[in-house]
Amino acid sequence: ASGRDFQEFLFVFPFSCRQLQCVAKPLSVQTLLFEHCCWPDLGQQEVFQFLLDHPNRVLLTFDGFDEFKFRFSDRERHCSPTDPTSVENLLF
């Protein structure tokens, strides 16, 4: 690694699909980021707004995606980053 990879991203959120499969309650994108990945001490709303305003500077990674038990379909579309839905709907 040369240290130059992914420099265009300001935020990287790594997720474990194995852990996400165990989440039974509905989640919003905001909850997914801040309760299942990182916990900003202050200014959570400001950080989230920055993420919404600059999606090109955010990278989400999903380790073990091929092991997901969910079947993805487009039966239910979910477009709100703050309204809760199932994990499978968030990731589709």
40-83 residue pLDDT tens: 677 888 999 999 999 999 999 989 888 777 666 666 677 889 99
pLDDT in the model for residue 50: 93
What one-letter code names the amino acid at 56? N
What gap in Å lies between CA 23 and CA 4, rounded to an integer? 35
- Could you tell me the CA-to-CA distances from 52 to 30, 35, 55, 71 in Å, in that order? 10, 17, 6, 27
What gap in Å lies between CA 35 and CA 18, rounded to an integer? 16
Confidence class for position 9, pLDDT limits 50, 70, 90: very high
Residue from 42, 7, 21 nearest 87 by CA: 21
Question: Distance of alpha carbon 16 from its chain centroid, rounded?
Answer: 11
